[in-house]
Structure formats: structure tokens, C-alpha cells
Amino acid sequence: MSNTIAADESFRTGSLPDYAALAGAYVPMQKSVLPRYDAGKALARGTLFPGLDLPFMNLVNQEMEQTPMTEMMAIDFVADELELYLDTHRMDREAFELYQSILKLQKEARERFVRLCGPMLQSDQMGMDRYAWLDAPWPWELSDRREG
């Protein structure tokens, strides 16, 4: 018997019946809606439910301190949610007025962030007296605190 590969190499490819699923997704069932985070912590953690607050990229889940970045993230989240609402309720004048006030807060928060931490977008450098794009630390730089 020879150790060479057979001339027919069909063993390298597989096939599925026409009715077979290519893949199956699994989403764990949430056991309870309690306990819940308060609104501020939920915004910082990205979920209302502690049971869904799982490590991301093997980072330890930590409390986020209130910083100019977390303030902008919270305001951006509210602006995005209001946009989604207004997509389907465009005649809601009260929601639109709230949206306008959130956009004003968003602008103020961004200007405050740029003053304190440096530019986030290229356009944030308009009017600056020097090139500051590469100044550290960048807001998304991760800490060394990891699990395991």
C-alpha cells in the first residue's frame, strides 16, 4: 500500500445537504432582568444588566471614572437614540427640541475634551498653533489590567 495521496482528492472538500444550515448561532438566555445597573453605570458599562456585563478582549470589567471621554460617550449615546426615535417619529416636536439641546451639549463636551485632551478628529486641529495629533495618551489606549 502506497503512502501517496490518491489521485481523487475529493476528500479535501466537503458538502452539505441542501437543507443543512451552514452555521448555528447561540445566544445565552438571560435568566433574570434583575438586578439592574443604575442609568449612569449602565451607560458606562454598555448594558443595563450585570449578567450581560462580560469581559471584552479579556479585560477585567472595571468601573469607569467620570472623564471628558465618558461624558462625550454618554451624550453621543443619547443623541444616537434620539436620532433613531426621530427616524420613525419625525413630527414629534418635543423630541426634536430635546435633540437640538443634546447636539448643543455634544458640541460643548467635544470642545471641552479637545481643550483638555487634544484632538479626536482631524478637523479638531483647525485653528491649533501646532500639530497635536500624535500627542499621548490617546483616549482608547488600554490599561495593562487583564484577567487570568
The pLDDT of residue 96: 95
CA-to-CA distance for 119 and 35, rounded, in angstroms? 38
C-alpha cell at 134: 500624535
C-alpha cell at 43: 451607560
pLDDT tens digits for 28-53?
676 666 788 888 777 777 777 787 77
Q: Is the pLDDT of residue 2 over 80?
A: no
Q: Is the pLDDT of residue 76 over 80?
A: yes
Domain boundaries, the chain: 65-115
What is the per-residue DSSP string for 99-112? HHHHHHHHHHHHHH
